[in-house]
Amino acid sequence: MSQHPQPLVEMRNIRKAFGGVHAVEDVSIKLYPGEVVALLGHNGAGKSTLMKMLAGAYPIDSGEVRIQGETAAIRTPVDAQRCGIESIYQTLALADNLDSVANLFLGRELLTRWNTLDDHRMDAEARKVFHRLNKNFKNVRTPVRRLSGGQRQVVAISRAIYFNAKILIMDEPTAALGPEETAMVGNLVKQLKAEGVGIFLITHDMPDVFGLSDRLAVMKNGKLVGTYRTTDVAEDEVLGMIIAGKQPEGKVQTHTL
Amino acid sequence: MGTVLAAIAIVFNILSGGLFMSPENLYNIAQQTAVVGVVATVVVLIIVARHIDLSVGSVMGFVGVLIATLMYTGGWHWATASLAGLAVAIAVSLYQGALTAKLGVPSFVVTLGGLMSFRGAAFLVADGKTQPVNDLFFQRLGGGFDGAIGVTPSWVLAAVIVAALVVQMWSKRRAKASYEVPNNPLWLDAAIVLVPVVIVLGFVAAMNAYQIPSKDAPQGVPIPVLIWGVVALLLSFIVHRTRFGRYVFAMGGNPEAAALVGIPVRKVTLMLFALMGVLITVAAIVSIARLNAGTNSLGTSMELYVIAAAVIGGTALAGGSGSIMGSVLGALIMQSIDSGMLLLDVSIGVRYVIIGQVLIAAVVFDVIYRRVTGDTV
């Protein structure tokens, strides 16, 4: 099957332990351009830990990460950003005391030629990105703790869009959102997918899984239960994998597009 | 907060029959606040980043005595002695910073140890002996008899500051316009510029009105105040215009997020402590120049005053919020109350009681204000 495109991300035999607890054990997973892979599992199944390793937030104990076929040494969030990996964390990772513009560019500020912060340029650029996601988002200079859940989500998502993510990790992006904002996130996922961005979607929400993902991977107790094409499995089979760690009978695992 | 300071000044002025607002008293208050004010500016940043530094007074004492000893006993030139002091202060701060940033020892513990150790070190440097400072040029850095810049330079300085304020606002409006970001109405921006302009002109006028009776010309702006002003401007610049300043606030607002977006948290913490070392040296120099001596008790309990100045100035001990200008006002409020009560012949015991309660009142006000506006940080 050599005519398959090259995977955007290939994580091979990844392991991670915290003290004596094996958070992730020998997990291998691939992500292709323009593909959405849903990562499912109980709380503590290891899906967030796996993604945090890809995002450089946790160091990997053993295993290999390949980005577009090349071995990537991802040790810090900056390494991950260089590989085109952006993350939208469940906690959103926003500094509540700073405004949305500062948060959008946090860690990657635009500078003037004197190496000082170019606030006006950042302000202007930020307004453009926010406007794309939410036309009513005007109070960009308010500390983000005063913004609504949806606006805070817009700020977090804007990071991924502005910095042209090739690989996007979304950790429960719709957990705190109303229906309208959930639809906005759904549309965004489809739009990014069409642009060839690969997306890992961590979620508990079955409509999201079946509405947005191409493949789904289920984890339990740090191990991968299985990876299937979303259209091949039914909801109760997915729940069986999440709750009992039971692979559905007669279904073939799919590790490629 | 500026209003509070103005109210304090007016009340004391009435109670003291006009003595409080006399040029001489304003000159003394400005000059006496400078040392605490210089250190308070950087303590704001330390607290914003969710750390604390209890060792500032002891380290200042240690470095001050060291510089004085090198000059008096060692016969060094004041410049080389000061540079040596700077090197030692940075080394001390990096030691404390590394324990905090690299090993994760709480800065409260590290600097509490430092509070004791470096007071001891201040004693050890000169075996507890007072070291006189005789260099006349160096003495001017501390203010005092010849420690002001004179009338004409003071007015020139005021003119430069006013021009800078106007140019800054003008270029800000132009930059906003060029990026199509909405500007404030012109009258509002004009008012925003006018407030500091009036304060600067009023302050310089007062300093230029003060003449020591045995001298034939008025004093003008005292050098320690000038140093304080430069430090405050520099730190405001760092806070608003540099990545370092933004990262300090981000780390204070959400340390986890700061790490997740790739801010080099440890490096920033270490740089912050190094900055502390630099400003402690500046404060130590001004301090020994003012006292004309370095003694091992120099800076005793100063940590409490600088933290109080920062807190009165609106810095939240939980981290993430605070401002340099706030610390300037906080330091001035504290010194004004102390000096005002001194003019009214209030006993030292009562003064301590009141200043302590003012500190609490400032925080109570802050807590209530945040509750009303719904800010939780």
Chain A: which residues have CB within 8 Å of chain B? Answer: 55-57, 76-78, 81, 87, 89, 91-98, 102, 106-109, 111, 115-117, 120-121, 123-124, 127, 143, 145-146, 159
- By Cβ distance, the residue of B242, B320, B374 closest to A97 is B320
Region A30-35: what's the mean pLDDT? Answer: 95
Q: Which residues of B touch A124 (CB under 8 A)?
A: 179-181
pLDDT by residue (tens digit) across B163-210? 999 999 999 888 888 877 778 888 999 999 999 999 999 999 999 999
Among B215, B208, B198, residue whose Cα is nearest residue B154: B208
Residue of B nearest to A54 (CA): B260
Give the confidence band of B121 by pLDDT, cuts at 50, 70, 90: very high
Percent of chain B with pLDDT over 90: 84
pLDDT by residue (tens digit) across A126-184? 999 999 888 888 888 899 998 988 889 899 999 989 999 999 999 988 887 888 888 88
Helix, strand, coil share (%) of chain B residues, nearest 5:
75, 0, 25
- The answer to pTM > 0.90 is yes
Percent of chain A with pLDDT over 90: 71
Which of A75, A87, A98, A127 to probe the B interface (max B CBs under 10 A)?
A: A98
Q: Are A120 and B249 in contact (CB < 8 Å)?
A: no
The answer to whether residue A2 scores a pLDDT higher than 50 is no
Specify the pLDDT at position B302. 94
- By Cβ distance, the residue of A81, A87, A95 closest to B253 is A95
The answer to whether residue B376 scores a pLDDT higher than 60 is no
- By Cβ distance, the residue of A89, A116, A120 closest to B181 is A120
Contacts of B296 (CB under 8 A, 6+ apart): B61, B65, B119, B122, B123, B125, B126, B128
Helical H runs in A134-253? 149-162, 179-194, 206-212, 235-244
Contacts of B207 (CB under 8 A, 6+ apart): B23, B26, B27, B30, B148, B154, B218, B219, B220, B221, B222, B225
pLDDT by residue (tens digit) across B142-161? 988 888 999 999 999 999 99
Radius of gyration of chain B (CA): 21
Average pLDDT for chain B: 93
**Does B376 lie at the interface with A, CB-CB under 8 angstroms?**
yes
**d(Cα B7, Cα B27) in Å, to the nearest integer?**
18
Least confident of A38-42, A80-84, A134-138, A196-200: A134-138
Alpha carbon of B90 to those of B47, B83, B114, B233, B281: distances in Å?
Answer: 19, 10, 14, 21, 9
Q: Nearest C-alpha of chain A: how many angstroms from B318?
A: 12
Q: Where are the beta strands (DSSP E) in B66-199?
A: 131-132
Q: Are A87 and B256 in contact (CB < 8 Å)?
A: no
Give the confidence band of A1 by pLDDT, cuts at 50, 70, 90: very low
Which of A49, A91, A96, A138 to probe the B interface (max B CBs under 10 A)?
A: A96
- Its sign, for the CA torsion A190, A192, A195, A197, is negative
Region B27-34: what's the mean pLDDT? Answer: 93
**Does B242 lie at the interface with A, CB-CB under 8 angstroms?**
yes
Residue B240 exposed, middle or buried by CB count within 10 Å (0-12, 13-18, 19+): middle
Taking each helix axis from N to C terminus, what angle separates A119-133 and A149-162, rounded to the nearest 10 degrees? 110
**Does B254 lie at the interface with A, CB-CB under 8 angstroms?**
yes
> What values do phi and psi take at A6, rounded to 5?
-70, 135
Give the confidence band of B377 by pLDDT, cuts at 50, 70, 90: very low
Q: Are A55 and B254 in contact (CB < 8 Å)?
A: no
Q: Are A120 and B179 in contact (CB < 8 Å)?
A: yes
Residue A249, token pair as written in the block? 């009978």
pLDDT by residue (tens digit) across A4-31? 688 999 999 999 999 888 999 999 999 9
**d(Cα B284, Cα B281) in Å, to the nearest integer?**
5
pLDDT by residue (tens digit) across A169-179? 999 888 878 88
Specify the pLDDT at position B325. 94
Q: Are B259 and A77 in contact (CB < 8 Å)?
A: yes
Which residue type is seen at A257? L
**d(Cα B53, Cα B276) in Å, to the nearest integer?**
9
Specify the pLDDT at position B176. 83
Kindly provide the b/e burial profile for residues A146-156, where b requires at least 16 CB atoms within 10 angstroms of the residue's own CB. ebeebbbbbbb
Q: Are B179 and A91 in contact (CB < 8 Å)?
A: no
- Its sign, for the CA torsion B186, B187, B189, B194, is positive
Residue B377 exposed, middle or buried by CB count within 10 Å (0-12, 13-18, 19+): middle
Q: Are A145 and B179 in contact (CB < 8 Å)?
A: no
Residue A5, token pair as written in the block? 């495109």
Strand pairing report for B293-294 and A70-71: unpaired
pLDDT by residue (tens digit) across B58-68? 999 999 999 99
Q: Which residues of A touch B375 (CB under 8 A)?
A: 143, 145-146
Specify the pLDDT at position B375. 63
The answer to whether residue B233 scores a pLDDT higher than 90 is yes
Q: Which residues of B touch A92 (CB under 8 A)?
A: 257
Write down all domains in chain A, each with its CATH number in brackets. 1-84+165-257 (3.40.50.300), 93-163 (no CATH)
**d(Cα A24, Cα B230) in Å, to the nearest integer?**
53
Q: Which residues of B touch A55 (CB under 8 A)?
A: 260
The secondary structure of residue A68, as a DSSP letter, is T
Strand pairing report for A167-171 and A198-202: parallel
pLDDT by residue (tens digit) across A209-238? 999 999 999 999 999 999 999 999 999 999
Specify the pLDDT at position A4. 66
Which of B246, B249, B251, B376 to probe the A interface (max A CBs under 10 A)?
A: B246
Q: Are A78 and B377 in contact (CB < 8 Å)?
A: no
Which residue type is seen at A111? L
- Fold classification of B2-147+222-373 (topology level): ABC transporter involved in vitamin B12 uptake, BtuC (1.10.3470)
Residue A44, token pair as written in the block? 């503590």
**Does B373 lie at the interface with A, CB-CB under 8 angstroms?**
no
Specify the pLDDT at position B374. 65
> What values do phi and psi take at A215, rounded to 5?
-130, 165
Query: Which DSSP helix (H) or strand (E) runs through B59?
Result: helix B56-72
Region B300-310: what's the mean pLDDT? Answer: 93
Query: Which DSSP helix (H) or strand (E) runs through B116?
Result: helix B107-125
